[in-house]
Structure 1
Amino acid sequence: MKKLLLVALIAAATSSAMAAPTTTLQVKGTLIMSACVPNLSNGGVVDYGNIGIGGLSATDTNQIGTKDITLTITCDAPAKVAFTMMDDRSDSLHALEVETADGTSSTSASAVSKEFGLGKTANNVNIGAYNVRVLDAITDGTSNAYISKSTGGAWAVGSGFQSSTGDAMTTAALGATVTPVAFTTGVFPMQISAAIQGADVLAISDDTILDGQATISLVYL
């Protein structure tokens, strides 16, 4: 047994000595022909105004309505570009059925990545959730379908509901296809729908601000 152990130790030491003492640095990037800038209407603010606690249900989910906002992507030359959304308040998401203006809904139980957090109360209770839904994709004045895909997936006609995890891209398609189209100006009308928990659960004793926030990033295709 002692001889076998000695051989094993010698073999291990030899293998270590023969390993190449190098590693590799790679510097990558892409020189692009155009630069694009995203911009949201109303300064990116969706304001639900004052919501009276006394008018809320004590135990049921409270739908607080739908608001419109528009994302415009402007490029200095035609470019194929998509956008992603990342929830900056994901730790405040409370799973709720959030109804949109046309009666459809995103339900966190089946699609948690389709809802965003609305902030927390002073006693650290998650207030609720909102969803972001794309209604159209207008590129250089022409209405097109909007398409989406997750990391590693294929382009498909979008459901409208945007992912809150930052790993799904949305852009405009070429005609009735699922092929991204190059554009100089892309306009994406959106609707924001929100809901909050029952007043008893929130246990609010002072004014509380809704604090939803998401980051939109561009991805060149």
Structure 2
Amino acid sequence: MPCALQQPTLHWNNLKMNKSLTLLGTALLLASSASAFAASSVDLTVKGLITPNACTPTLSGGGVVDHGKIASKDLVQNNPTSLPRFTLQLTINCEGLTAMAIRPIDNRAGTSTGSSDFGLGLINENKKLGRFYLTPLNMVADAVAVQPIASSDGGSTWYAERLWELQTLWGVGALDDATALIPVKDLVMDLEVATQIARADQFDFSEEQPIDGSGTLEVMYL
């Protein structure tokens, strides 16, 4: 009799085990299907912020630095040649106090002899002619003297920077604090443009070659 009582119990446990395995298999199948579905889709978010204040940048002289014709014999053969420096005035007028920065764009990307400077184009098919770079001077924001600052992380942090470079944002800071971007309405500064021709003994100047530097200064709202 004790054995007869044990058989149904064992048989029931087997049924229960089979049922549990079936449910477990179903759960795994559903989880696998959900995972496969998630891997087949991706979300796209469009964000932004419309600001009521617009800023207009202006460069004196139409933003043109013209070195005229330079005799190739006057270029240094075994070292770079620095051309005379030009100074342009950059003015940025905003409709109200605005947190903004300048994003430099090299329109001759890949042609500069300096990794953080603007290029002068290619000559003799594939040779880099040289570079030019900008130095901000005499900065005044809303009738108050300010200092040039820069950010290499998209505007999250700022630091004092005497020489503005590509791959950074250019901004304005108070004289006693280079770590914070200050909003401005009217900004005026001198931009010193320094141009340098690479060593001349690598080039063929049997024909005239153009100095073809070009950059864009884009106002970004932060």
* TM-score bracket for this pair, using the shorter chain length: 0.7 to 0.9
RCO higher in 1 or 2 (8 Å CA, sep ≥ 6)? Answer: 1
Larger of the two Rg values belongs to structure? 2
* Corresponding position of 2:138: 136
State, as a whole percentage, how many aligned pairs show the same letter. Answer: 26
Structure-2 separation of matches of 1:23 and 1:57: 57
List structure 1 runs of 4+ shifted beyond 6 angstroms: 10-13
Structure-1 separation of matches of 2:148 and 2:74: 38
**5+ long unaligned stretches in structure 1:** 1-9, 95-107
Matched, 1:80 2:99: yes
Structure-2 separation of matches of 1:62 and 1:25: 50
Structure-2 separation of matches of 1:33 and 1:43: 27
8 Å contact kept, 1:60–1:198: yes
- Greater helix content: 2
Matches within 5 A, 1:33-72: 33-72=52-91
Shift of 1:182: 2.0
Note the alpha carbon deviations across 1:40-70, whole angstroms, 9 max, x for none. 1111111111111121222222111211112
**5+ long unaligned stretches in structure 2:** 1-25
8 Å contact kept, 1:61–1:196: yes
RMSD, aligned α-carbons:
2.3
Structure 1 residues 32 and 14: alpha-carbon distance in aligned structure 2, compared to 1, 3 A threshold: same
TM-score, normalised to structure 1, is 0.78
Shift of 1:203: 1.3
* Corresponding position of 2:207: 206
Structure 1 residues 137 and 219: alpha-carbon distance in aligned structure 2, compared to 1, 3 A threshold: same
* Corresponding position of 1:176: 176
8 Å contact kept, 2:80–2:200: no
* Corresponding position of 1:104: none
